[in-house]
Amino acid sequence: MIKSAILEVYNIEPRLKHPTIFEHFDALDSGESFIIKNDHDPKPLYYQLLGERGNGFTWDYLESGPELWQVRLAKPVAEGESENIGIIAAKDIRKAERLKQLGIDFCCGGQQSIKDAAESVGLSEEDLRVQLNESVLQEIPSTKLDYQDWDIDFLSDYIKQVHHKYVREKGPIIQELAKKVAMLHAGEHPSLVRLSDELEEFLSELYCHLEKEEKQLFPATKNLHELSSNQANQLIDFLRLEHEHAGDELRKLRKISKDYHLPANACNSHSSLFEQIKAFEADLFQHIHLENNILFPKMIKAYRVQIS
């Protein structure tokens, strides 16, 4: 993982400059980069990297003197290696937060490449990579949980007790409120009827999805012999597809409600409904992220180790 997005090497003792840069470079994950700032052209470093790391880096001058030189040093994605938005978000909470700020879906849409994700919000791939690298300048909040370090059985228990419980508690409340608001205001805002109907169908499917996870997936996190490796992979593929469908449904709800934009004469119930749906969406977004980008890869790896 990247240690610093900007390394000002002119502040480092000369004998330690190159070792420090190599240490930062070796800590990069594929696709990550950092910027070297120096008071002279660091070209000798380029040749040393070429000799010791071969072609496993990219070197781009951002500024070339006369007083300041800046070079972006990057570790490219290895050939055949899968790098997607979900993996990036799972590795670093700061990058996940930046993706969220940019409006990039890294849970249901976690399989998309950086290029596709960038295009979805009108950015170039290079611009998005710069934003992600800059995000690591922020300190990791101490209150954030490091899900990557959790065992799969503990993680599945957490998902069930926190996110599944939230869906089952909040879903019926939201659905009843949607019916009430639709009944009272359908004359002025007929889209509320469609919103209520879509919510009912969406929640019904979501409850079935939770049951499937709790009866088939989660027991396998506690005992890998519950499923064969092939069965585990097939189940995970199917659950991913259902997550994608859930993402489509969330987008449909946003479209019907015009991104939960309240009309000028909205009552308190109408306002409360939209706020509760947005909170539900945010929780489900985190819920699916934990499964798609952390739990599922951990399970696939565990089954791979088991049969090797």
Fold (CATH) for 6-74: Translation Initiation Factor IF3 (3.30.110)
pLDDT, the chain, mean: 85
Report CA dihedral (177, 179, 180, 186) to the nearest 10 degrees: 130
Q: Domain extents for the chain?
A: 6-74, 85-135, 147-307
Q: Does the pLDDT at position 243 exceed 90? A: yes
Side-chain-side CA neighbours of residue 17 (13 Å): 18
CA nearest to 234, candidates 212, 254, 257, 202: 212
- Look up residue 48 and give its two tokens: 């040393």
Q: Does the pLDDT at position 124 exceed 80? A: yes
Highest mean pLDDT among 105-109, 144-148, 289-293: 289-293
Q: What count of other Cβ atoms lies within 10 Å of the Cβ of residue 101?
A: 10
Q: Cβ distance 1 to 92 under 8 Å?
A: yes
Give the residue with greater pLDDT, 75 vs 133: 75
Express each pLDDT in 250-273 by its tens digit: 999 999 999 999 888 888 899 999
Contacts of residue 205, defined as CB under 8 A and 6 or more positions apart, other chains included, come to 242, 245, 246, 249
Question: What is the residue type of 158?
Answer: Y
Side-chain-side CA neighbours of residue 69 (13 Å): 17
Express each pLDDT in 56-114 by its tens digit: 888 888 888 888 999 988 887 665 455 677 777 777 777 877 888 888 877 766 677 88
Q: What are phi and psi of 64, to 5 degrees?
A: -130, 70
Express each pLDDT in 149-163 by its tens digit: 888 998 999 999 889
Percent of the chain clearing pLDDT 90 (strictly above): 36
- Mean pLDDT lowest for which of 136-140, 261-265, 298-302? 136-140
Of the pLDDT bands very low, low, confident and very high (cuts 50, 70, 90), residue 308 is very low
